[in-house]
Amino acid sequence: MSGKLFLSSVACAGDRMTLEFAIGTPVVLENLHKRRNLPGGLAEHAVTVSRDHDHFDVRTIVDSDGSITKVIASSEPIPDDWYEELSQE
């Protein structure tokens, strides 16, 4: 894989999240851990997804209602300030 996943849909129920990527295969993420609280009642959650030799770090931003507002996945390290950088664009 080239290091990027193209997300087509997201569904969340409790601490379980299902991401569907452009390849058409749903991926269920479990055991997400909360990395940090963000301003405005937002929180960042993270998990690492592995398949064969491919590893992706996945980070999500969730609002106070539990709705996912942003998702990033990368085979490269994700900078700690990725959300702040994205918010400034």
Query: 21-70, pLDDT tens digit by residue?
Result: 655 555 666 777 889 999 999 999 898 877 677 778 888 888 888 777 88
Of residues 39 and 6, more confidence is placed in 39
Q: What's the pLDDT at 3?
A: 45
CB 2 within 8 A of CB 22: no
By the 8 A CB rule, do 28 and 16 touch? yes
The span from the CA of 4 to the CA of 75, in Å, is 7
- Sign, Cα dihedral of 80, 61, 70, 25: positive
Give which of 50, 77, 41 is closest to 59, Cα–Cα. 77
The model's pTM is 0.66
Q: Which amino acid, 45? A: H
Residue 6 has pLDDT above 60, yes or no: no
Is 12 within 8 Å of 68 (Cβ atoms)? yes
**What was the pLDDT predicted at 71?**
84
